[in-house]
Chains A and B, each alone.
Chain A
Amino acid sequence: MPVDYSPYLFIVVMLVGAVGFALAPLGLAWLWAKKYSPRKPGPGKNAIYECGLESKGDAWMQFKSEYYLYALIFLIFDVETIFVLPFAVAFGGLAPGACVAMMIFLLLLVEGLVWAWQKGVLTWS
C-alpha cells in the first residue's frame, strides 16, 4: 500500500532532529552547571584579557579610512569569484552571448580596479 508522504515532511523531521541534536547537549550542560558548578564572576575574572597586564584605555579606536577602501577593493574580487566560479563550471554548455556578457562584467570590475589604482588607493601611506 503506497503511502503518500509529503517530500517536505522529511526535511521538517531532519530539521527538528538536527536542532534537537545541537540543543540537547547545551541544555544538559546548562542543567549540570546549575546543579553542580556555581558561577563565580569577579572583577579580576571578567577584566579584559591583556596578557595579564591591566588594560589601559579603550578598545574602541578609529581605523584609518584607507582600510575601508581596501575592503571595498577586496569586495570587487570577492564578487568576481562568486560569479566566475559557476560560469567556469557551466562553461562548456554556454552560448557565445553568455560568454560575452561575462567578459563585459569582468571588464567593468577590472575598470574599477584600474580606476582605484590610478587614484593611488593601493599605495599605503
Chain B
Amino acid sequence: MDEGLRSELSKQGVFTTTLEDLYNWGRKNSVWPLGFGLACCAIEMIAASMARWDLARFGAEVFRPSPRQADLMIVAGTVTKKMAPQVVRLYNQMPEPKYVIAMGACAISGGPFKQGYNVLKGIDRYLPVDVHIPGCPPRPEALLHAFMTLQRKIDEQALTGAQRPRHLVAEAPSEFPVPEFGAHDLVPPANPEIWQPPEVVRGE
C-alpha cells in the first residue's frame, strides 16, 4: 500500500497497517528486561524502573527473575572476568528474540578499571550488544534514551528477506560460546566472531 493511500484512508478514519508493523509494535512495547545488576549502574537502572522515571511507560517495567521470560539483558555495571561466563550463560538461556544493552563505561569498555587484572574490557567481547550507553554511571534518562533507541531498532526490523534479524534466521546461532577460566585469563579472551580489536585509521 502506498503512503498516499494510507494517509488518505487514515483521514477517513480507516487505520491500515502491515503484519510486520503490528508484530514489531507489539514487541517493542513489551520488552521485558532480565532483573540483574552487576555494580553501581544497577542503582540507576532500579531508579529508572521506579516511579520518578517510570520505565513502565515503555512497557518494560516487568523485570523478570528468570532468563526464560526475559527479552532484554541490561548489563548494568562492571563485568569482572569471574562474572563474565555467568553473564554469557544467562544470555544463552534467554529465548529469542533477545537484545543486550551495555550500560555504563565498565560494561561497554571496562571503564576506569580497563587496565585492571580482573575486569573484562567490555561485554561486547562475548555478546552482541545492541545499544551502548556511555556514562559513569549513566543517568536514568540515558537508560530511557537507550530504551527508545532499542525500540526504534526493533521497529525497523524486517520480518522476511535477507535483512531480517538474527532470531528469524534458523541457521543463526542462539547461543554464544561461554568463556572458560584459564590459568592467566579467560579462554578465549574475546569471541573473534563478534568482536575484533578496534582498528585505528589515521588521517593525513
Contact = CB atoms under 8 A, between A and B. Distances in A.
B159 interface: yes
A40 to B, nearest CB: 4
B170 interface: yes
A84 to B, nearest CB: 37
A45 B167 CA distance: 14
B158 to A, nearest CB: 11
B44 to A, nearest CB: 22
Contacts of B167: 37
Interface in A30-55: 36-38, 40, 42-45, 47, 49, 51-54
A27 B142 CA distance: 39
Contacts of B95: 45
Nearest to A32: B23
Interface of A: 36-38, 40, 42-45, 47, 49, 51-54
Interface of B: 66-68, 85-87, 89-90, 92-93, 95-97, 159, 167-170, 173-175, 178
14 contacts: A36-B159, A36-B168, A37-B96, A37-B167, A40-B170, A40-B173, A42-B173, A42-B175, A44-B92, A45-B174, A47-B93, A49-B93, A52-B93, A53-B86
